[in-house]
Structure formats: structure tokens, C-alpha cells
Structure 1
Amino acid sequence: MNKWIRGTNATVLSLAVIGIFIVLTIFLNSAKNMQVDLTQNNKFTLSDQTKQTLSALDKDIRILSFTTTETNPYMKREVVELVEEYKKRSGRITFEEYDAVANPAVAKQYEVDPAGTLVVQSGEQKKTLPFYDMFLPSQQNPNGYSFSGEEKLTQALVNFNVKEKRKLYFLSGHNEIPLTQMTLWRSGLESANYEVKELNLLREGKIPDDAEMLVIVGPETDLSDKEAELVKAYMDGKGKLYLALGFNPDMSSKWKNIDALMSAYGIKDQHAVAIEPKQSAMYDPLSIVPEYSGHEITRKLQEYNLLTVMTLAVTLKVDQPNADYPATAILSTTDKAYGETDLKALAGQGTSKKDAADVAGPLELGFVVENKEKKPKAVVLGGSTFLVDRYIQQQGNRDFALNSVGWLQEQKDQVTIRPREGDNLSTALVTGEQANMIFLGTVVVFPLLFLLIGGFIWWRRRKG
């Protein structure tokens, strides 16, 4: 009798589990758009910029994927899944997949690469995105890659709404950081529809009339008096300035005109380098992780806990406020930080010890300047190393750099969190024989082994 009851209970429990499984399967199948991203850094979640772009679409977008047998299946899967996610988010998007060999008439209309091509089309406008442009080679693994498809696809959609590019001029001639060392920032600016040009005032003799913004990054030597006059005249008009200071042990005696440029907005260079003792075991004291003020430029970074890292940052302060151009601090240190004023010793020894001559914290490392009408006029930063290729990919550096330009140009859609590059993924090279072994092992051998072990245990218990 007891044996019959135990058998009945086991049968009922099994039927209940199967029933729950069936109901759960039906529910999940009906909730097709419900997704939960449990990956680190939400790698499968679209960025804020992408969501904003999709919600603002006011025209129909047609996306076509062309692949052949030469297309890497892993790349194809990543691209198709990404586009499908865009399609879910916007009814304006249609998506079509083509085999370029089987559909030569359609493929002939576009510049199709055998390795895979994505075409984004809106009316007469068209953007072609080869698959290999979306996959960046890994620096650590020769067979690895990181996926930047979301960034490329979102910028293609953004560009459809742009009529004219804004021109940004980067000043040269004072040992500034060259554009060749800021290729990632430049690429980000160009993707956001800015035209980036270099400007040497000694050669050109003036700031071009079409300059939307003058950018000075990491100058080591001062502007000449005539150059300073040209910049002042430009700023007295409708000009806008992006100034990111660099380190120079002689800045206190050789930056007369750069200091005067900042003082026009009440900002003073304290000729000191910020030191933050024991801020993080991951950084030396010369590397600062500033605290955000909650300004529009940094609000999203603060929300997503994306930090900005600056090295050899020059400390700033508002000395004599200018009522016509009020300055607001957006980056600051903790009260434990101090400003090292012995710059020559710092440059020579690379170490610092706090003394009475140093500037007490908390310290300011970045300001934004507006005019009386609350319109952006300037961004002044105490550091510039975070803009170079080596550092700009760290945490929020890239977003901060692009957000500050977007704010200065009054483009709210460019003050956001942008798509991140995907994690470095590796592709394994497997022969046909190895693939068959993997299949037999996982689909046949292991399940059969578990079945035999389970049957043996059941038989032993029945016998016992």
C-alpha cells in the first residue's frame, strides 16, 4: 500500500512539474519583448543615445543585410541580433536579409562586400556599413574582437537628420597634443557631425569665420601677444572656447596670455598640480578621479557611475567672478587633495610631499562658462591627458569629452551616454573532425552516460 502511495505521489509531482514547465513556456513565448540583461555592464542593453535616437525618428528607415558564404557566422549573428533590437524599439525601421549571391539584382544596387554589408537607407540618403568596420581587433588576443556595431548604426541614423557639419578648429604651434594622438576623440566628433580641422594662427593669420569653436588641448608654451589678440577678438564675438590645459613646470612664468584668456571669465590657474593621496590603489597620486557637480555635462555619467580620470591636472579657481560670464565648477577633488606648487621638483622626481606652500583641497579642475542669456561660452579644464587615445576609453572619459563639446554647441542630443564597445570575444578555429567530436560528446555520450548511471542507481535501489 505504502509503495503504491509513493508511486502515486511521484507521478502527481512529475505531472505538476511538467504542467508548470508548459505554463511557463507558454508565458515566456507570449512575452517576446520581455528581456532581462544580466551581463556585466549590460552589454546587450541599448545605450541612452540609441534609445533617444530611435524614439526621435521621424522618417522611415530601411535596413538591409547582405551576406554570402564568406561571411563569418558569428559576426552575422551579432549584427542581425543588433538590428532586430533596433526594429523592436521603433516601428519606423524595417529589416531585410539577403544572400548576395542568390539575389544579385538587389546586391548590385549597393556596394556589397562578400564578408557582409549592412545598408541603412532613408529616402535618397544611404549609409553602407561593412561588417568588418563593426568588429575591432583585440589588442590582447589575435583571434579576438570587440563589437562596435551599435555606435556605427546609431550614428548612421543620427547623420540622416544633419544638414550641415559644424567646424571645430584645433589650435597648433604651442606643443599642443596633436590630433594624431587623439584619433578616438576626433572620430567621435566626426561621427557626431563635426568637421575637425587644425589651425596654426602664425600661418593663417586669423581664426576662420566659419569656426564654431576653438579648441586648445594641452599647450606647453604660451600664445604670442598677436595670437592672444586674435583669440580675444574671436571670443568677444560669437566665438566659443574649449581649453584643456597641459602640464609645464614653467607655467607660472610662461603662461601670461593663457592665464589672461582664462581670467577674462574670472578663472585663475593656480599653477599647481592636483595630488590625491590614497584615492585608489589602481591609480598613482598624480591620477585624479574628480567628483562631479551634477551639471548637464556630467549628470548622465554620475547616474551610470562612469568616472573621469585625469593625470597631471592643473588646479583652477574662480578668482574674480565676471557677472557677464559666470563660471560654474563641474569637476573637483576631495578635501584630502592638495595642489603641489613645486612643479620643477615634481617634474624631476615624479613624487610630491605636502607642505605649507601647497594649495589646500578641495580643488577645482574644470569649469563651464555661460553668458548672461545662459548660453554656453567656454569649457575650461585643468587636464588634457584623458583625451589621448591611450586614456580616452577609460570609464567615462570619452563621454565626458564628447558631452562637453555637445553642451558647448547646444546640442542636447549629444550630451548623453553613448554605445560602448562590446567585450573582447574570441573565435575558436575548429576542424570538422573536432566539431563532430564535440557534437557526439555533448549530445550523445554525456546524456547516455547520465542515463546509464541513473538506471544503475535505480536498479540497485530496487534490488536492495
Structure 2
Amino acid sequence: MKAIRKKQSWKLIFLLGPFLVTAGLTVGLVSGKWGITPLALLIPGIAIIATWLIWQIKVTNWWGKRSTQAGTNALLATLAVLVILGLINFLGSRYYWRTDLTETKLFSLAPQTQELLKKLPEPVKVLIFDVTQNSQDRDLLENYRRQSDKFKFEYIDPQTSYGIAKQFGVKEPGEVYLENNQIRKLVQVVNPRDRLSETRITNRLQQIISGKTTKVYFLQGHGEYQLTAGENAISQAVQSLNEKNFVTEPLNLAEKGKIPEDANVVVVASAKRALLDSEVKLLQDYLNGGGNVLLMIDPDTEPKLDPLLNEWGVKLDNRLVVDATGNETLGPAVPIVTQYGNHPITEKFGNGISFYRLARSIEIIPVNGVQATPLLITKPFPNSWAESDQKSEKLEFNEGKDRKGPLNLGVALTRKVSTTTPIPPATSTPTPTPTPTPTTNKESRLVVIGNSDFATDRFFQQQLNGDVFLNSVTWLNQQDQQPLSIRPKELKNRRINLSSAQVILLRLSSLLVLPFLGFLSAGLLWWQRR
């Protein structure tokens, strides 16, 4: 009886050791300080455990027992599993691999965003002045951070951090700012209905690191689309350019008499009436001097741009492009394009969809010094053709009159041009002598699309229509280092609309039919085994 009591007292003394060690570790980890109190608990605890182990090994032959060896093996196996799990978590935090299996890559950043983040020249930071941290917004910001260690983000409570909020001029909770080298830009204001947008973050990021703006002029005075919201407007296209750090202005050549020197791109969006010969000459001179022009020309319009187009080897076909496979909603006069040329404007489109209501095809004629690349290609014949009889109620291909597909609806062209810059004569000589003018080689760019309706407010946000326009202007701006790609994907509506009869059928099948089949199968199995 005494031996048993002595053995139990030793167990109690041993349990005191782990208790003291646990208490010491807890105090040290929670307080963050390893002072007298944690050490006063850890040292006696470790001493008790060491004494107990020595006594067990030398006095009781504890190590030679089968139970000790089995327990030791179990302990080592447990420690090995914990070490393996720790290594897996460590490697997972350092080296991660993620894949997005959704159809539209909903949980992945757009290629435009990824390329921009990889080329960040210096650190940038997103500051969200909000008390609550929305999980959806935080996941988006984490995706940005994974792409570049130069991207940081921080949530700030505007009430507790009033000084920082005042520096940024925060007026209401939910404001999101982007900061880089003391430059601060408001990205958006988040709320329960309007969450953080990848499009807005990327556009602001592109603006803040570029530090410059680009001028895009829209030709006016010939029935072109208006730039502000209204009927037959391209206000959404203009707004999207402004968000990408472009400055847009109207241009009336008849009044101004010249193309401004700061014009990076000139856009002619569906001129319904003919341009004056002097206006065409100004556009030609602008291109010959290294300018960039986007022409969107609809069928049944004659802007009188043939002198310019002939220099570039472009011929407009006034026949209407027909898509025999067009769906019932769009109709045959709206060709659907899923094939694109190998060009920076369309290189990331894949087999995405863009469509062009009432379009004309474009023929490319080889011209020395001009490099032409088709952009928008229709389906091959008999799925598409150019129809000459546009008044016929039934569209049918007529051999000899109509033109077989595939047809080009858009083309991108480049040409090397030489420009001279005069050098002012030296003032030291009494009579100025002629000075040579150095010649520099520049590249002039032209994009011609046989349709303009795709860029209007009615169709700009649908499928890839807006991307065709935005990427065309960006490429014309000759900023090829700027990523050209599809904008971030939006969540598609996957709801299934069921009729009343279908709802009743679904309920009956789930509540009656399926349980009955289960019981029937169980009964058959029991009958066979009895």
C-alpha cells in the first residue's frame, strides 16, 4: 500500500513539471517578454521533468519496458507528422500554386492587371478607409499582392486614425485611395452595393505610375457621334478613355484649320457627310508626320477619304456583310466575330465574341512600306459573305455580285515615316548659313474598321466590343509597353428560370420519386440476400 502511495506521489510531482513549463510558455508568449516570471516557471518545470526522466531510466528500468518503447514510437510518429505538416504549411506560405476553374476566370486578375503589376517600377499602396474588412475586397487585394511584392494595402479606421484620414481628405467611410511617392488618387467609394473594382484599381494604378496624359481628338462636324450621353453617342467609350488617363477633346478641322500638335490619336467615328478636301489633306499630313488615326466607317456612307486610304492600300467595300449563322436576336446583318488577327490589339481575345451591326468589309492592297494586319475576320463562306442587294427581303448569295467570306472587318497598318527637325542657325555669325536638318524615323499607325456601331453606348459594354475600341486607341498611342488585354471579367447570370410545371415536377421527383427508388433498391437487395 505504501509503495502504491509513493508511486502516486511521484506522478503528482511529475505532473507539476509540465504544468510549470506550460504556464511559463503561456506567460512569455502572451506578454511578449521573457522576464523573471516566465523564467521562474520554466526553470523549475524543466528541472522536475529532467529529474523524473533520469529516475525512471536508472531506477525503474523504464526505458527497457515494452510500454515505454511503444509510447516512444507513438510520440516520435506524432512529432514526425507535426513536422511534416509544419513544413507543408511553411512551403505553402512561401510557394503557392493556384488555379481558377471558372469559365470567365472570375477569381483571377485580368492579363492587363498582371502585366502591369509585374512591371511596377516602385512601391504602391492602397489604403481603404473603412472599419469593416469585406472578404471579397480583401481577396481581390490579396490577388494583387501575390503578383508583386511592391504592391501593399492597408485598412484604416477613419475615426481612430483621424490624422491620416485628414491628410487624404477623406469625406466618408469607404473611400479607397492609391498612393505612390506622395501622389494620391481616389479610386472609388465602397459600400454594400458597390464593392472594390479591379477595373478601377488597375486604371488608377496605370495613371499614377505613368505620370502623363495622352490627347485623343474626336473629329466633329460631319455627323459623327456625340461625345456626351444621348442618342447615338459614344460617351461610354470616351469615359473609359478618361479612366485610362487619356484626355479627350472634340476637333472641328473646318474651324481650327489644323490638327493640334499635342494630338496623339485622332478618331473619326462614323462621318455621315463628306470631309472637305482640306480636311482630308490635314489628316494625310498628320499621318505623314508620324500621327495615328482610327477610322470607323459604316456602309452607305461616303466620307471622301479615298485619297488617304489609297496611300495605305485600303479599299472599302460598300456591300453589307451577312452572317448566315447569326442568332435570332441579332439577325443576319450583325456579323459575329470569333477569329482575330495576330496583333497586339487582339492577341489576348482568344475565341471571344465581338459583333458589328451593319458592317462593310475591307480589302487590303499591298503597298510598298506599309505593313497591314487583319484584325476582325468573319466566318468562311457559306457562313458569311458581302451582300450587294441590301434591299432584298431574303438574303442569298449571288455568284458574281456578292463576295465570299472570310472577310476583314478591321485592319491595323503601320508605316515608317521620316521627319526633319530644323536647327536654328548660330547667332555668332553675321550672316546665317543654311544648317542641315537631322532626319528621324518615326512610325505612323492607322486602324480602319468597317463599322462604328460597336463603340456606341448601346453595344460598348457587350462582349469584347469595348476592348476592340480601347485596345485600338492604346495601340495607336504607340505605348506598346502598356498592357493590351481583356478587361476584368464580370459574374455571369447562371440562374435557371423554371416554369410552374417544372417546379412541381422537380419537387415531386426529389420528395417522392427519388426516395421511392431508394427504398425499392434496398428492398430488392434484401429480397436477394434473405
| TM-score bin, normalised by smaller chain | 0.7 to 0.9
What does 1:296-445 correspond to in 2, within 5 Å?
296-302=344-350, 305-319=351-365, 321-336=366-381, 337-343=384-390, 345=391, 352-356=395-399, 357-372=401-416, 375-420=443-488, 422-423=490-491
- Which of residues 116, 119, 135 is equivalent to 1:53? 116
Q: Does 1:35 align with 2:104?
A: no
Asked if structure 2 preserves the Cα contact closer than 8 Å seen for 1:50 and 1:418, the reply is no
- Using the TM superposition, give the Cα deviation of residue 174 of structure 1 relative to its aligned residue in structure 2, in angstroms: 1.4
Q: Which amino acid in 2 is paired with 1:116? A: G
> 55-64 or 327-336, which moves further after superposition?
327-336
> 279-288 or 209-218, which moves further after superposition?
279-288
Q: Deviations over 1:284-335 (max 9, x none)?
A: 1111123212222211112xx322211111111024x221323332222223
Once residues 147 and 280 of structure 2 are traced to their aligned partners in structure 1, the CA distance between those partners, rounded to angstroms, is 50
Once residues 128 and 59 of structure 1 are traced to their aligned partners in structure 2, the CA distance between those partners, rounded to angstroms, is 19
- Which of residues 147, 153, 156 is equivalent to 1:89? 147
Q: Which runs of 5+ in 2 are unaligned?
A: 1-80, 417-440, 494-530
Asked if structure 2 preserves the Cα contact closer than 8 Å seen for 1:269 and 1:317, the reply is yes
Once residues 117 and 84 of structure 1 are traced to their aligned partners in structure 2, the CA distance between those partners, rounded to angstroms, is 18
- Using the TM superposition, give the Cα deviation of residue 96 of structure 1 relative to its aligned residue in structure 2, in angstroms: 2.0
Once residues 145 and 101 of structure 2 are traced to their aligned partners in structure 1, the CA distance between those partners, rounded to angstroms, is 22
Give the aligned partner of residue 169 of structure 1: 217
Q: Deviations over 1:61-80 (max 9, x none)?
A: 22221114xx7x7xx33323
- Which of residues 228, 243, 246 is equivalent to 1:194? 246
Once residues 81 and 156 of structure 1 are traced to their aligned partners in structure 2, the CA distance between those partners, rounded to angstroms, is 19
Once residues 109 and 244 of structure 1 are traced to their aligned partners in structure 2, the CA distance between those partners, rounded to angstroms, is 46
RMSD of aligned Cα (Å): 2.9
Asked if structure 2 preserves the Cα contact closer than 8 Å seen for 1:376 and 1:407, the reply is no
Once residues 35 and 65 of structure 1 are traced to their aligned partners in structure 2, the CA distance between those partners, rounded to angstroms, is 26
Q: Does 1:65 align with 2:128?
A: yes
Would the alpha carbon gap of residues 41 and 26 (structure 1) be closer, same or farther in structure 2, given more than 3 Å must change? farther
Would the alpha carbon gap of residues 197 and 341 (structure 1) be closer, same or farther in structure 2, given more than 3 Å must change? same
Once residues 103 and 161 of structure 1 are traced to their aligned partners in structure 2, the CA distance between those partners, rounded to angstroms, is 27
- Using the TM superposition, give the Cα deviation of residue 245 of structure 1 relative to its aligned residue in structure 2, in angstroms: 0.9
- Using the TM superposition, give the Cα deviation of residue 228 of structure 1 relative to its aligned residue in structure 2, in angstroms: 1.7
- Using the TM superposition, give the Cα deviation of residue 415 of structure 1 relative to its aligned residue in structure 2, in angstroms: 4.4
Once residues 147 and 185 of structure 1 are traced to their aligned partners in structure 2, the CA distance between those partners, rounded to angstroms, is 23
Asked if structure 2 preserves the Cα contact closer than 8 Å seen for 1:49 and 1:413, the reply is no
| Aligned-partner SS, 2:202 | helix
- Using the TM superposition, give the Cα deviation of residue 166 of structure 1 relative to its aligned residue in structure 2, in angstroms: 1.6
Once residues 278 and 443 of structure 2 are traced to their aligned partners in structure 1, the CA distance between those partners, rounded to angstroms, is 28
TM-score by length of 1: 0.74
Would the alpha carbon gap of residues 148 and 294 (structure 1) be closer, same or farther in structure 2, given more than 3 Å must change? farther
Give the aligned partner of residue 44 of structure 1: 107
Once residues 168 and 246 of structure 1 are traced to their aligned partners in structure 2, the CA distance between those partners, rounded to angstroms, is 21
Asked if structure 2 preserves the Cα contact closer than 8 Å seen for 1:403 and 1:414, the reply is no
- Using the TM superposition, give the Cα deviation of residue 391 of structure 1 relative to its aligned residue in structure 2, in angstroms: 1.3
Aligned length: 380
Once residues 325 and 338 of structure 1 are traced to their aligned partners in structure 2, the CA distance between those partners, rounded to angstroms, is 27
- Using the TM superposition, give the Cα deviation of residue 232 of structure 1 relative to its aligned residue in structure 2, in angstroms: 2.1
Give the aligned partner of residue 213 of structure 1: 265
Q: Deviations over 1:390-444 (max 9, x none)?
A: 212222222222222222222224442244253279xxxxxxxxxxxxxxxxxxx
- Using the TM superposition, give the Cα deviation of residue 56 of structure 1 relative to its aligned residue in structure 2, in angstroms: 1.0
Asked if structure 2 preserves the Cα contact closer than 8 Å seen for 1:368 and 1:380, the reply is yes
What does 1:251-330 correspond to in 2, within 5 Å?
251=301, 254-255=302-303, 257-280=304-327, 283-290=330-337, 291-302=339-350, 305-319=351-365, 321-330=366-375
| Aligned-partner SS, 1:297 | coil
| Aligned-partner SS, 1:261 | helix
- Using the TM superposition, give the Cα deviation of residue 92 of structure 1 relative to its aligned residue in structure 2, in angstroms: 1.4
Higher RCO (C-alpha 8 Å, min separation 6):
1
Give the aligned partner of residue 285 of structure 2: 233
Once residues 91 and 128 of structure 1 are traced to their aligned partners in structure 2, the CA distance between those partners, rounded to angstroms, is 22
| Aligned-partner SS, 2:168 | coil
Asked if structure 2 preserves the Cα contact closer than 8 Å seen for 1:66 and 1:98, the reply is yes
Asked if structure 1 preserves the Cα contact closer than 8 Å seen for 2:110 and 2:489, the reply is no
Once residues 171 and 251 of structure 2 are traced to their aligned partners in structure 1, the CA distance between those partners, rounded to angstroms, is 37
What does 1:130-209 correspond to in 2, within 5 Å?
130-132=188-190, 149-180=197-228, 181-209=233-261
| Aligned-partner SS, 1:80 | helix
Q: Which amino acid in 2 is paired with 1:362? A: P
Considering only CA atoms, is the larger Rg found in Structure 1 or Structure 2? 2
Identity of aligned residues (%): 28
